[in-house]
Structure 1
Amino acid sequence: MSDVDPGRDNAPGQRADAVAALAEAIRVVGQQPPGPDTAGAEAAPAAAADEHRAEALRATGEVLTAGGAPAEFAAAAVTALGEGAAETLKADPWAVLSLPGVRPEQADGFARGLLGSEAGPGDPRRAQALVPWLLEQEALRGHSAVEIGEVATGLEKLALPDAAAALQEVVVDGRVMAFQEELPGHRSTSEEDEPPMRTVLALERLALAEESLADGLVRVMSTFVPGEEEPGEDGPGEEAAEEEAAAPGPAAWEAAAAAAPSASAAALIRAVADSALVAHTGGEASRAEPAALLSAAQGLGLRAWAATWTDQGRDSLAALLPDSGSTAAQVTTLPELLAGTAGPGRAEDGSLALDVLLVLDAPLLDVELAATLLEAVADGTRLVLSGDPGQLWSAGPGRFFADLLAAKACPTVASRTPDFGPIGELVSGIGIGELQTVEAPEKEVVILTAKDGGEAVHRAVQLLTDSIPRALGIPVEQVVLLTPGHGGSAGTRALNAAAKARLNPGPGRFGGFDPGDRVVYSPAPGITRPGRVLDGDASGLHLELSDGTRLTVTPAQASRLRHGWALTVHQAVGRRWPGVVAVLPDDAAAGLTRQWVYTAFGRAERHLSVVHAAGQALPQAVAERPARPRTTRLRAILAEHGEQAH
């Protein structure tokens, strides 16, 4: 099913730009409006800017109409191509392919509308547009690079007469970058052997992000200076004691490790004592280990903070910390950390003012967001990246955490703390490719079969609205339906429609939504914020989000809002619910992977119901399909850095 993975609701775009825009939006909300002294001075430039934009929209709309495209695309065109969008489209009609949702056949039709018979399939402008478009589509599937043969095949399917010439041209003009590298996983048998090579193409922004990310990781490791013990039989003096407080030595770290609550936490503390970059892996129960490290680092007098993917992750991590108040305040979400609305603040050079930074949910960082994070980490900072390697990778391109682990570029501490209970036992088995039957005396795990998608929807909604609340005492608000994709017989659209009809029927008078509707808001790709609709008016929909904050979604932002009784698993990462109903429809069977099943089942805290209509596809996916492969360059770049270091 085409909607399975990666569950993206937003148009393609630069992830770093999206995060920066989100950060700026958060920052601006917290500012006071300009006083009377500045209002007049700013009014004239603002009016002029509005006039220029209105003119650009008018001119662009005329060009779009002339080519047979809807004039409503003008705003998107001006956003993507700038205020000169009209002239750009006249000179190169295939530039319309850079707009969200436009496909090659639509761009070809638009070009014929403007150019007539001159718009041939071999037009150089068409080739220049098709290659980046193909790479953008692959980026949506998680690839940060694509083998050149696959791109050539894609161009041939789009009836481009000379794919090889087109590829050469886009590389020469810099819109796409080409790299030759050793095939991953190859081991030469002798020094004389020439290793097999491959050529990959990457969008410039993704190529630069992976290069920047690798450089940042190497910089953090190369600038690290561990603390040292002060010499002297009589013990350190006052000045030395102050230095030790700022940079604790081995004895202080060892004492902190000895006081750790578990062997795995102690191992993590010892690894961080000796290394600038540490990877930590484990399931949900292992989050107690980064919490112990954070507490220990603060106890050593270090500026230590932790960042999680969601507000729920932040709160659950803070709950694991000692009830000291100050330590709990040193946990924030990653968007808040990068935006500067929470966290340690920035040093004069713009870096995070930290000695230790723990980033949980690290598998969810795509290469652009990870590069942005590394740019903010100061020289000499200890960086700990923690996450569950069995879970789904980022919604954006790359597989940052998996590549870091595969490259063995830093020490890795694998947690030995098991996830408890029948759900933990089930998920642990799935992680090693085994779908086991587990004992569930309190109905922690229930499996129900369905003959098709329609019956799966009926059973899932019945569990949500009646069976789980009545039999287990888990309120409807604490139960979520999870499914592979948005479309299909039992995707989020079908499930949400059925749930709304049962729980909050209404005419959808506010753009398809009614007060009381459960929703999810996605301000940027891969970021999902659950909430409910309070009301709506001309300014937009007024929401209350899960963290208690309130937000107005304007009509222009409506595409970022969906009903939220049912989510894709990609929308659910970074969160857990007391009750989860995982729906496995028959038409999604081919897209199931072990990674998807592991992540979906692991979202449940107290109860997991599985509505199963996928037949043998479920055990086959767990046993035979670990994850959907992604083509990336980070591992190869880190290997090059390692060779240069030696």
Structure 2
Amino acid sequence: MTALPRGESPGPPATDEDGAAAVPDEPATAPGAGEDAGVAEVAEADADAESTADETPAPAEAGTDETPAPSEAEAELAAQRELRERIEKRKAGKEGPIDAGAKLSGTAADLLAAVRAVESGAKPATAFFDSPAPAPARRAAPVPQPVRDRAPEPAPAPRAGSPEAVTAAASVLSAGGAPAALAEPAAALLGDRAAEVLREDPWQLLALPGVGPEQADGFARKVLGAGCGPDDERRTAALTGWLLERAALQGHTALDADQVRTALAGRGVSDADAAVQHAIAEGVVLVFQDGPEGEEPAEETGGTAGDEASGEPAEPVRVLLGLDRYALAEESLADGLARLVNACEKDADWSRAASSAPSPSAAELIRAAGAHGLVAHTGGEAARAEAAALIAAARGLSLRALGAAHSVDGRQRLAARTGAPDAAVTLSGLLSGAEGPGRDEEGALAVDLLVVLDAPQLDVETGAMLVESLADGARLVLSGDPGVLGSAGAGQVFADVLAARACPRIVSRTPDAGPIGELVSGIGVGELHQVEAPGKEVVIVPVRDAGEAVHRTVQLVADSVPRAIGVPSGDTQVITVGHGGSAGTRALNEALKQRLNPGPGRFGGFDPGDRVAHVPAPGRTVPGVVVSADADGLHLDCAGTPVVVPQERVAASVRHAWALSAHQAAGMRWPAVVVVLPGDAARGLSRAWVYTAFGRGERHLSVVHGVDQALPRAVAEAPAQERTTRLRTLLEGSPQER
């Protein structure tokens, strides 16, 4: 492997001398010991749900039901509520509980005992706890309908609690030393009984964004006094749920039970086994065996399973803990994918369409889609042409075919490839009803073939909503590059479908063109090649420290790239490893604004002409430009769509976007990209990160390089450990026609 060469910047320098994902188990002060921790102010939430744990993404917002024409986000939430109802009905109709490790012994068996007894009906729920928690009320939601020619779309405001509930919650929070700012989110989350709930169980404060165990412990000590301790069952149950919610931010839909116990012990819980069993009995978490359905663990080993006849060593059987929302989503997704596989019928002659395909890979994809209800298609940027060819072929057969991309940019590029603007939508717009053909009388999407591009960005909850929205007989093609960073939400749908071999996989043989394509292809197999770039398509700009990295980045965007490459500053995107630090997105955005669009920031820190990222929901980043501001809020132009963000939502959902993280940039491309790698970014690098960031540039890539050998090491190392999920196991156990 050869190192990436040191190169020259597109323009001369300003001067000759110038520029994992495990659950945290760190110890914390337990209640009743030491000084009161108090409750800190809520930290700013990360909008892009990074897989790193240094910042927390903002929670999904709920819209109101009073607007005559629901916004995109409101319609999406309504569809999610409908999905949850369908999932619950489907689970209620199943014959029995999930067969999960009946022959486990020891601690693992204890973990399973409580939930299996309740599920089987052998014991009532009251045998494990005094009174069951009330089930959350679920409301039927109308099927979202397409919205055409909409007025500027207001960003949804958070669901608000009643004034009385907010006042009562504020009183309890004040008594516990908590800031009054938490009253409104507490009332919105916990309802009109928020004050009573917090008084009876102060650790419910952990459910609020930005509140950690130390702050919740301090609040509990002041509310309960001597009546609380580190092993209080209310505390251990809340901590268990918090650990799994935190893991979900890192992409996991479940965690190993041993890992949860270790983390609880690190938080001062003396009997972690009992704490986990209590959380299961209370319904805070669900318990599962990680193994194919029907596989029996060896009785004597009490946690291993193997093939005695072949003499192969037994494999450990893991017990997983998960939250019900992700368990339901994964089970619904697995059922839905199996339904698509088994319901496929031959509805047209695809052979003629395949024979006229523009490439052998496109022909292979067309034939596979014609014969199967579910197909996985892998490849880089050039492979998008094959997906476009499939959509065109299906439309030529008078089928309702559609392509859904992760971003507005991806939708526009797909529309250009198909030559049919109505053949491309964003996935969020399709599911909300804001884009696409709408739904039929049964509530299913009115499509015969749906191609989902950027499939690695698909999380389990969105995936479940998607397959529940497809009618029997519809075809689904998941297309994407398995080398890029995964979804912002929990799960790894595309990776699990590929690993489970749940459907035919078509691998594109069309390489990405040009020096950037050659460089990125090498990174995908763990090699950092030296590439020939006669047109300065790839340039390396070495720097010594973060200050120089910021200086050279501004110089590249403002001067060098426009002059030497011909790409204007507005079409050049900066990508860096994280939001914090001396060369993170915040520092870079501040420096780039001062140079490219200086102003006082009189509109909540923004001025007309500022490049921004609007985040209507966690994991969805929509680039835009500030137009103006008035009493209604901040007016944005998001790829030609006017959006109005209310004043109270600006700080949480809009941020400057001359510089983005690689997670935010996934699914989008720009004519020129400047990737910034300061020295303190070395720990955040991985092969997937480098692959994603370097692949965002179409014509030019500049690398502001200050990590020395950390870059080739990150590329050479094997990809990071996969996320812990259950979808692969569920798919492998699903009955499917092959």
TM-score, normalized by the shorter chain, greater than 0.5: yes
**1:196 Cα deviation after fit:** 2.3
Question: What are the residue-to-residue correspondences of 1:105-116 with 2, within 5 Å?
Answer: 105-116=214-225
Which ranges in structure 1 are unaligned for 5 or more consecutive residues?
Answer: 34-48, 227-246
Moved more, 559-568 or 2-11: 2-11
Report the equivalent of 1:209. 329
**1:174 Cα deviation after fit:** 1.6
Pick aligned residue for 2:442 from 334, 344, 349 = 349
Report the equivalent of 1:424. 517
SS in 2 for 1:608: strand
Report the equivalent of 1:313. 410
Pick aligned residue for 2:506 from 405, 413, 416 = 413
Report the equivalent of 1:383. 476
Contact in 2 for aligned 1:63/1:86 (Cα 8 Å): yes
Report the equivalent of 1:91. 200
- The normalised TM-score by structure 2 is 0.78
Which residue identity is paired with 1:158? R
Is residue 2:340 matched to residue 1:220? yes
Assess, with a 3 A threshold, how the Cα gap between structure 1 residues 568 and 201 changes in structure 2: closer, same or farther. Answer: same
**1:20 Cα deviation after fit:** 5.9
Contact in 2 for aligned 1:206/1:368 (Cα 8 Å): yes
Is residue 2:198 matched to residue 1:198? no
SS in 1 for 2:612: strand
Pick aligned residue for 1:514 from 592, 601, 607 = 607
Contact in 1 for aligned 2:609/2:627 (Cα 8 Å): yes
Describe the superposition over 1:360-379 as per-residue Cα deviations: whole angstroms up to 9, x where unpaired.
11110111111111110111
Mapped partners of 1:603, 1:645: distance in 2: 38
Report the equivalent of 2:732. 639
Which residue identity is paired with 1:630? R
Report the equivalent of 1:6. 51
Report the equivalent of 2:487. 394
Report the equivalent of 2:74. 21
Report the equivalent of 1:134. 243
Assess, with a 3 A threshold, how the Cα gap between structure 1 residues 187 and 619 changes in structure 2: closer, same or farther. Answer: farther
Is residue 2:232 matched to residue 1:123? yes
SS in 1 for 2:162: helix
Assess, with a 3 A threshold, how the Cα gap between structure 1 residues 561 and 32 changes in structure 2: closer, same or farther. Answer: closer
Report the equivalent of 1:600. 693
Mapped partners of 1:491, 1:333: distance in 2: 29
Report the equivalent of 1:75. 184
**1:541 Cα deviation after fit:** 1.4
Assess, with a 3 A threshold, how the Cα gap between structure 1 residues 224 and 179 changes in structure 2: closer, same or farther. Answer: same
Question: What are the residue-to-residue correspondences of 1:582-621 with 2, within 5 Å?
Answer: 582-621=675-714
Report the equivalent of 1:253. 350
Which ranges in structure 2 are unaligned for 5 or more consecutive residues?
Answer: 1-19, 22-45, 64-70, 79-143, 152-158, 296-303
Q: How many residues align?
A: 602
**1:458 Cα deviation after fit:** 1.0
SS in 2 for 1:84: helix
Is residue 2:257 matched to residue 1:164? no
Report the equivalent of 1:269. 366
Moved more, 404-413 or 534-543: 534-543
Question: What are the residue-to-residue correspondences of 1:465-484 with 2, within 5 Å?
Answer: 465-484=558-577
Report the equivalent of 2:105. none
Is residue 2:378 matched to residue 1:333? no
Assess, with a 3 A threshold, how the Cα gap between structure 1 residues 135 and 470 changes in structure 2: closer, same or farther. Answer: same
Report the equivalent of 1:622. 715
Higher relative contact order at CA 8 Å, sep ≥6: structure 1 or structure 2?
A: 2
Assess, with a 3 A threshold, how the Cα gap between structure 1 residues 469 and 80 changes in structure 2: closer, same or farther. Answer: same
Report the equivalent of 2:528. 435
Report the equivalent of 1:296. 393
* Identical counterparts, % of pairs: 55
Mapped partners of 1:87, 1:260: distance in 2: 65
Is residue 2:213 matched to residue 1:104? yes
Contact in 2 for aligned 1:182/1:196 (Cα 8 Å): no
**1:631 Cα deviation after fit:** 0.9
Assess, with a 3 A threshold, how the Cα gap between structure 1 residues 53 and 347 changes in structure 2: closer, same or farther. Answer: same
**1:271 Cα deviation after fit:** 0.5
SS in 2 for 1:225: coil
Describe the superposition over 1:407-441 as per-residue Cα deviations: whole angstroms up to 9, x where unpaired.
11100000011100000000000001000010000
**1:344 Cα deviation after fit:** 2.0
Mapped partners of 1:486, 1:196: distance in 2: 39
SS in 1 for 2:734: helix
Question: What are the residue-to-residue correspondences of 1:57-68 with 2, within 5 Å?
Answer: 57-68=166-177
Which residue identity is paired with 2:325? R
Assess, with a 3 A threshold, how the Cα gap between structure 1 residues 641 and 195 changes in structure 2: closer, same or farther. Answer: farther
Assess, with a 3 A threshold, how the Cα gap between structure 1 residues 187 and 347 changes in structure 2: closer, same or farther. Answer: farther
SS in 1 for 2:733: helix
SS in 2 for 1:641: coil
Mapped partners of 1:145, 1:161: distance in 2: 23
Assess, with a 3 A threshold, how the Cα gap between structure 1 residues 138 and 32 changes in structure 2: closer, same or farther. Answer: closer
Contact in 1 for aligned 2:60/2:617 (Cα 8 Å): no
Contact in 2 for aligned 1:10/1:525 (Cα 8 Å): no
Which is helix-richer, 1 or 2?
1
Assess, with a 3 A threshold, how the Cα gap between structure 1 residues 288 and 534 changes in structure 2: closer, same or farther. Answer: same
Is residue 2:152 matched to residue 1:55? no
Assess, with a 3 A threshold, how the Cα gap between structure 1 residues 641 and 16 changes in structure 2: closer, same or farther. Answer: farther
SS in 2 for 1:82: helix
**1:5 Cα deviation after fit:** 4.2
Assess, with a 3 A threshold, how the Cα gap between structure 1 residues 202 and 261 changes in structure 2: closer, same or farther. Answer: same
**1:144 Cα deviation after fit:** 0.9
SS in 2 for 1:320: helix
**1:557 Cα deviation after fit:** 4.3
Assess, with a 3 A threshold, how the Cα gap between structure 1 residues 209 and 292 changes in structure 2: closer, same or farther. Answer: same
Mapped partners of 1:344, 1:512: distance in 2: 39
**1:21 Cα deviation after fit:** 3.3
Mapped partners of 1:292, 1:28: distance in 2: 26
Moved more, 349-358 or 598-607: 349-358
**1:135 Cα deviation after fit:** 0.7
Contact in 2 for aligned 1:545/1:551 (Cα 8 Å): no
- The normalised TM-score by structure 1 is 0.88
Mapped partners of 2:306, 2:356: distance in 1: 43
SS in 1 for 2:479: strand
**1:563 Cα deviation after fit:** 0.5
Contact in 1 for aligned 2:169/2:183 (Cα 8 Å): yes
**1:29 Cα deviation after fit:** 8.1
Report the equivalent of 2:92. none
Report the equivalent of 2:290. 181
Contact in 2 for aligned 1:11/1:101 (Cα 8 Å): no
Contact in 1 for aligned 2:626/2:635 (Cα 8 Å): yes
